Amino acid sequence: MKVAVSACLVGKNTKYNGGNNYNEAVMKYLLDKEYVTICPEVIGGLPTPRIPSERKGNKVINKIGEDVTINFFDGAQKEIEKLLKESINIIIVKEKSPSCGYKQIYDGTFTNTLTEGNGVFVDLALQNGFIIYTEKDIEKMVD
Ligand code: SF4
């Protein structure tokens, strides 16, 4: 089985603040699997570190009010094209991210408030038939 995973979950420093979201359970789950990493924000041309962004409907705006929608959608499209070529069906994503979040994301007000919804990349992944797990799902599976 071939899996894709948010790069920050396996310790790559792609997070907006230059750090990562290394996750022990995800690493354990991937031990006997072939996997590729994705980071739609970096592939979409944003620097690391970068100003944090939140999704607001079909737009993505960063904390200083710049519209970064094009970077998010372009990066999502490029990563999906890569995964379709690699015959991947499962993607493990970082929860709550404006790109990689699944079912819950921050609401665009930068007040730490969650709302129902997916990140830009996950929306596109679901439209293309991929199965999505967050790191929290993997933590329950691995325990
Ligand atoms: Fe991690 Fe996704 Fe954000 Fe990249 S875009 S740092 S993979 S959560």
Tens-digit pLDDT profile for residues 94-110: 999 999 999 999 999 99
Say how far apart CA 17 and CA 3 lie, in whole Å. Answer: 26
The alpha carbon of 72 and the centre of ligand 1 are apart by a number of angstroms equal to 11
For residue 143, pLDDT over 80 is answered with no
The alpha carbon of 143 and the centre of ligand 1 are apart by a number of angstroms equal to 24
DSSP line for 64-78: TS-B-HHHHHHHHHH
For residue 25, pLDDT over 80 is answered with yes
- Taking the model in full, what pTM does it have? 0.97
Nearest to 73 by CA among 119, 112, 8, 109: 119
Q: Strand pairing partners for 131?
A: 90
Q: What's residue 90's pLDDT?
A: 97
Atom of ligand 1 nearest to the CA of 40: 5
Substitution candidate for ligand 1 out of 94, 105, 106 with most atoms within 8 A of CB:
94
Substitution candidate for ligand 1 out of 21, 43, 99 with most atoms within 8 A of CB:
99
The residue whose C-alpha atom lies closest to atom 6 belonging to ligand 1 is 15
